[in-house]
Structure formats: structure tokens, C-alpha cells
Amino acid sequence: MREAHPIERRVGIEYYASDADGTGGRLRTTPEDFRVRELETMEPEPLEVESGDYPHLLVRATLRKWDTNDFARRLSDALGISRERVSWAGTKDKHAVTTQLFSLANVDPDELSGEGLPSIGGADLEVLGRIGRSLHFGDLAGNAFEIRVRDADADPVDAITAELHAFVAGETEAPDRLAGANGDGAGTADIDTGTAAGDSPVDVAVPNYFGHQRFGSRRPVTHEVGLCVARREWREAVLTYVGNPAEAEPESTRAARAFVDDQAESADPDWNAALDRMPGALRFERSMLHRLAERGDETPADWRHALEAVPRNLQRLFVNAAQSYAFNRIVSERLERGLPLSRPVAGDVVCFADADAPEGLYRPDTDRTQVASERRVDVMSRHCERGRAFVTAPLVGTDTDLADGEPGEVERDVLEDLGLEPADFDLPDEFHSTGTRRAVLLRTRVAVDAAAGETERDGEDGADDDAYDLAFSLPSGAYATVLLREYLKTSPREL
């Protein structure tokens, strides 16, 4: 197996599914290079229905260079309503063209049509109808992606696609009919791999890692904070977040964090001085330091009080990132031991596919699980082969039951190495987590156009001979970067 990039290995991502060389290249040269469209699950009522029963307007927005939170704030300002009356199903990248749903509470549809439509640059709005409740995070089946990779060497694309196709079945090498007669990917354009021969999509799979951005792109420490929280190491959690400088940060930030580390080693720390040095943009770090300066640092309760200065969603994210890191480690350990991701072995916990998912979307339903006993392994393997079931690993929490057999041994070994067990997540307030399970394999259909650079796109100045396009759909909770990394094989900071 090909080892992952060193930065990825810091967050538990140890391997690639494909051994072929990467294409390199750049993403998001223009917003049009990265298009994301939500796969919608909401079916609104007509605008004419009684608004008392359906008080929320459902709006589809196509956004260019808009962060989701910033757009929600801009839209609420344009309508003269509070930000709390705007909800959405998923957060999207700013450097992209995105199509996503928003719900607006108690807004007259006339305000969003004709002359009443707010003029917001880079945004097109379409009123779809009414719904009875606001959108909740996760109210989408998944996302469809159309991505252009520029300044790339497209030669390995066919070989990568073939190897990822083989990974669906748990094979370590692409069959000759996919890899080409000489084994180097030549000839692949003559078969149905979704390349320049006709863009027909082909089934591929990759390890269902949590992407690097889950942990912090420039400074991946969120999971380290969460691990400290799970161990009730409140002091270490605060210092990991506020101190602990990273090489990728600006010099002034590194100096401020180093000063925090110095104060932590001092017998009489000056947290006010540390607060003065911390850049204003790092408001969460400043909030923690303010609480330390105000209350002191004598007890674990003082340090926990400092950590809780951040918003509740970030408190939850700390623990979620720790769970994600442990999951990545478990997936990597399975690969290291030669345990398949595409089919179960005895003891695995398998979940079934979501029967209500849109056609062609491989979406696991982790609320429906079954243990693959010795007697059931062959039957469950056939379900997995057809995309009807998925092997899972735990996002460990208080309600987690670990697997049996060798899969359970992997899970226990990783948790022991991290100094964790399920009961450790019986934490106070927002840090508490019951846990769940997650599929270890991410399966999709990808269409690849290795000759994409010969054509122009909207918003482009001209064609780019060193470009290729990828089109695929992923279920909610999956990361496009874990597929893109297989093609580019570059630093995660470039994804």
C-alpha cells in the first residue's frame, strides 16, 4: 500500500487505496472549478397553502464565493429579519459555486419575488414552496460535485480510476482489462471507466476517512483537544488549543502561542500579558485567556471554565474530532492488517443501505446494523458487493458496543493506544457523546474527463490543456477530499 502524505498521517490517515502516481494539480483556481449541488430530500407544499401550518419558505440558492454563514447573515439583513430565522441543511465551501437549500421563517413570498427579491451579489434565489419546520443540519441526502483539476499531469488518471474500481471489490490491483495491457494505465480509454472515451461513470471506492479539514487545515489540533477532554485533562486541552504553535501559522501567531507555553511553565503565569500578545483575529484563544486572567488557573474547574469560553458547537466539535481521529486510526489499522473494507469478516458490525436514498447514491443507514456472525458472513458479503450494506467502525461514545473477532481487536487496540474507552465519553454538558457507527468504505460512481482542458467553462478566460474533470455524488457526512486525494496525491493543504 502507498503511504499517505506526512501531514495526513497526523490525523490517522495512513494509506491511499491506489498505488498509481498522482496527477498533482490545483483546485479552485476559479469558483467555477468547484461546483457543489445538494441532493435534496425536502418536498415543499405550494406557496398557496395555509402559512400557519407551513410557516417556513423553502429557498434554493446558487451562490458564488459565499460562505454559508456569511450568506445567511447577508440574506437576513436584506430581508430585515433576525439571523435566527434563516436555517440551512449543510455548510459549503466559500471558494466554489454551490447550490443549497435555506428555510426562512415567517417571510412573505412577495419579498423574494419580482421587485421584492433582495439584490445580493453572487447569489441567485428560487422560492420552491412552504415547509412546516425549519431546515435542520443534515436535511439532505448528499452532495453532487463537478470539479476541475488544473495544472495537472492527466496521464495517471486512468490507472487511478481503474485501481479505485478494483477497490470496490477489495482487490489490491486493477484487473488487466482496466489497467491496460502493459499495466501502466494505457488502453484504459477503451473501456467504461468514465474517462475521455465517453464520460460513462464507473463504480469506485476509497477508505471513508474523515478529511483533513475535519481537524483544522493549517493547524490540525482539534482532535488533540478532544482527546484531552475525553481524558478529563482540562489544562492540557486549553494549552493545546491556545498555545502549541504550528509552523504553518504567521510568525506573530507562533510567537503569541509560544508565550502562552512559556507562561504555562511559569510558577506565576501572566495571562493578561498573554492576552495582550494574542492577535485579535484569534477570538476563541483570546476568550480562553480572558477567563484564565479573570479567574485564575488553580483547579481543573478553572481550566474547564476557560475551555467553555468557546461556542457550544465548537465544544462538541472537539469531541467529534477525537472520535473522527480514532475512526481514521481504526480504518488505517484494518488496512495495515489486511482486513477488507469492502466486505465483512466474522465479528464485523454491518449497516444496511438507506432504502430512501436517491438512485445511484450509496448511502449507509447506521441506525440499521447487524453483526456478521460466521454463519452470516457470506450473505452479508453479497449485500456489500451490491452496495446494499457496509462494514462499519465506531465513532466511539458511551453507547458504543465494540465489534467481535479481529475487527473488535482492532478497535480495542486503537482505543487502548489512545488511552480511551467508551465510558470516557460520559462527559459534562456539550462534551458528552453517545457515539454511533460509520461505514469504513466510501463508494460512489465517478465520471472522469481526462480531456477536459480542451473545452471552456463558464467564467473561464480560455481552455487549459493540463486539466481534467471529475463528477461524482457523495452521501452527507462524506468528504470529497478523500476521493480527490487519491487522484492528486498532494499535500492536504492543497485540497
Q: Residue 362 sits in a domain of what CATH number?
A: 3.30.2350.20
The dihedral of CA 198, 204, 206, 212: what is its sign?
positive
pLDDT of residue 235: 96
- Please indicate, yes or no, whether residues 289 and 373 belong to a single structural domain of this protein: no
Domain membership flag for residue 72: yes
Domain membership flag for residue 331: yes
H helical segments located in 361-439: 377-385, 405-418
Domain membership flag for residue 1: no
Q: Per the structure block, which three cell numbers stand in for 124?
A: 441567485
Compute how many other C-beta atoms are within 10 angstroms of the C-beta atom of residue 184. 14
- Please indicate, yes or no, whether residues 322 and 428 belong to a single structural domain of this protein: yes
Q: Are 187 and 180 in contact (CB under 8 A)?
A: yes
- Please indicate, yes or no, whether residues 338 and 257 belong to a single structural domain of this protein: no
- Please indicate, yes or no, whether residues 346 and 399 belong to a single structural domain of this protein: yes
Q: Are 491 and 7 in contact (CB under 8 A)?
A: yes
- Please indicate, yes or no, whether residues 344 and 414 belong to a single structural domain of this protein: yes
pLDDT digit of tens for each residue in the chain (495 aa)? 899 999 999 999 999 999 999 999 999 999 999 999 999 989 999 999 998 999 999 999 999 999 998 999 999 999 999 999 999 998 888 899 999 999 999 999 888 876 667 778 999 999 999 999 999 988 999 999 999 999 999 999 999 999 999 999 887 655 554 444 333 333 333 323 333 334 689 999 999 999 998 998 789 999 999 999 999 999 999 999 999 999 989 999 999 999 999 999 999 999 999 999 999 999 999 999 999 999 877 899 999 999 999 999 999 999 999 999 999 999 999 999 999 999 999 999 999 999 999 988 999 999 999 999 999 999 999 999 999 999 999 999 999 999 999 999 999 999 999 999 999 999 999 999 999 999 999 999 999 998 766 656 555 555 566 999 999 999 999 999 999 999 999 999 898
Find the domain containing 127 and state its range: 42-138
Q: Are 309 and 284 in contact (CB under 8 A)?
A: yes
- Please indicate, yes or no, whether residues 48 and 176 belong to a single structural domain of this protein: no
Torsion, Cα 358 364 366 367, to 10 degrees, reads 30
- Please indicate, yes or no, whether residues 81 and 177 belong to a single structural domain of this protein: no
Q: Report the CATH number that the domain containing residue 304 is assigned in CATH.
A: 1.10.1510.30
Q: Report the CATH number that the domain containing residue 108 is assigned in CATH.
A: 3.30.70.3160
User: Which neighbouring-strand residues pair with 35?
Assistant: 97, 146
Q: Is 378 a catalytic residue?
A: no
- Please indicate, yes or no, whether residues 84 and 121 belong to a single structural domain of this protein: yes
Q: Per the structure block, which three cell numbers stand in for 404?
A: 467481535
| Cα angle 359-362-367, degrees, rounded to a multiple of 5 | 110
Q: Per the structure block, which three cell numbers stand in for 234?
A: 482540562
Domain membership flag for residue 209: no
pTM of the model: 0.90
- Please indicate, yes or no, whether residues 127 and 48 belong to a single structural domain of this protein: yes
Q: Find the catalytic residue in 33, 93, 158, 297.
A: 93
Specify the number of domains making up the chain.
4
